[in-house]
Chain A
């Protein structure tokens, strides 16, 4: 309940900021035009494009500071393609299929079950996980190796699903768009890639940026609930946080994760404050036997 209220407030706050600067409106429309010219996607029949405001229909206003569902997917596709340029998928079709099954089941417990969800394990020893707008979620091989059962994988994927359903990255992009509006000019003739490139920056650097700390805590709170809704032991993610919590900060495999996220100790503490005794009655499956173990 509280979440619906905050997401309703956020767009109006943004609107207030935008309202003060007339040229911000122009930029939004330029961006919108650039997208419309370059993407030939037709909206799904019978389904209005969703807004970036947490599912609240903003009607004609959404193009000014939000992103349509098509724009969100286009941004996510580009960001995901760039990330895969840095680290390709682990060459193990069974693993990739397994992760998609677990991820899609978790996403099905969210408010956006019908997004085109994609999950994958990327080939790097770094310990991290990434979400891009539109439903792209990647876990590194390094993190996958830390996992001991399916509920832990579900918890990790659910944290990333939380970022996607709350559109945390899009909110950051909107903010940077407002900050950069004086210098960044989008030509109406710009192609899809150029428009998105201007928005998300070089390569996959969007994944090296931190989200707001509170966005991370929120994704943790969402994660334990989505895992529980899916029938899993809700404590999969906390177990993983405890596992990586005592890795040394200067261990290169967790350097980026620790730089872009609050320390696992702080995440556990915040989560503990929110959970209290609410999950006491919830048991769930860990599915240790079914867990797909990666080849060494």
Chain B
């Protein structure tokens, strides 16, 4: 009895660990970027990554990953990194293996071949569903309710400027 109970618990703990910890997950640099000693811009540069360099992700803090690479260890901006195997033109053996096991990369994206999807054809053939639309409308939240919801999660609104369009004068 005890053992039967502890297995699901253990499995749950294991799944949780996989979901939250990045430790050891592979990836590669999307573009050339610096490796920093600390996760901020002014930190000392301890190395550099070239586009395509393989890395191992050890940790994350804000917009930074702590990574291990052939160029050494350090912090790099997460937006310069792709997680998982390098992008391929078509499907290679590794990807096929991932699909066959129902997992791709980290296993967070599950292949659903054969299960009902939402293709272009299905969208085009769709018929207006008034009852579902009414239902969708019934779940609407007011601005004031959303404010309350945010407060209960200790979410505080703050002023942040929009980002400039890259390549524009600004």
Contact = CB atoms under 8 A, between A and B. Distances in A.
Interface of A: 1-3, 6, 77-78, 80-89, 93, 96-97, 99-105, 107-109, 113-114, 116-120, 122, 124-128, 136, 140, 142, 145-146, 148, 150, 193, 201-205, 207-208, 218, 221-222, 224-225, 228-235, 238-239, 242-256, 259, 263-265, 268-275, 277-280, 282-283, 285, 287-288, 290
A8 to B, nearest CB: 14
B82 A125 contact: no
A208 B137 CA distance: 23
Contacts of A208: 120, 123-124
A255 B133 CA distance: 26
B119 A146 contact: no
Interface stretch (B3-11, B66-74, B97-105): B97-105
Contacts of A102: 149
Interface string B142-170: 11011101100111111111111110111
Contact of A81 (B104, B133, B153, B165): B133
A235 B78 contact: yes
12 contacts: A85-B126, A86-B125, A101-B141, A117-B140, A118-B137, A124-B118, A127-B109, A246-B84, A246-B104, A256-B120, A265-B87, A269-B79
Interface string B80-120: 11111101001100011011000011101111110111111
B53 to A, nearest CB: 14
Contacts of A270: 166
B79 A85 contact: no
A244 B161 CA distance: 28
Interface residues of B, number: 80
Given A118-B140, A250-B90, A252-B119, 8 more contacts: A81-B133, A221-B165, A225-B160, A228-B160, A229-B158, A230-B157, A239-B78, A242-B83
A248 B99 contact: yes
Given A86-B123, A117-B140, A280-B40, A248 B63 contact: no
Contact of A247 (B109, B140, B146, B155): B109
A251 B104 contact: yes
A259 B133 CA distance: 27
Contacts of B108: 146, 148, 243
Contacts of B136: 80, 84, 89, 96, 118, 120, 136
Contacts of A232: 155
A78 B139 contact: no
Contacts of A146: 108-109
A254 B62 CA distance: 28
A140 B117 CA distance: 10
Given A221-B162, A245-B83, A96 B139 contact: yes
A120 B141 CA distance: 11
A81 B162 CA distance: 32
Contact of A124 (B99, B116, B168): B116
Given A125-B116, A128-B118, A203-B124, A271 B79 contact: yes
Contacts of A119: 139
Contacts of A244: 109
B87 A225 contact: no
A280 B41 contact: yes
B49 to A, nearest CB: 13
A265 B82 contact: yes
Nearest to B139: A96
Given A100-B141, A101-B145, A230-B157, A235 B62 contact: yes
Contacts of B91: 248-250
A269 B120 contact: no
Nearest to B98: A248
A84 B133 contact: yes
A116 B122 CA distance: 27
B19 A148 contact: yes
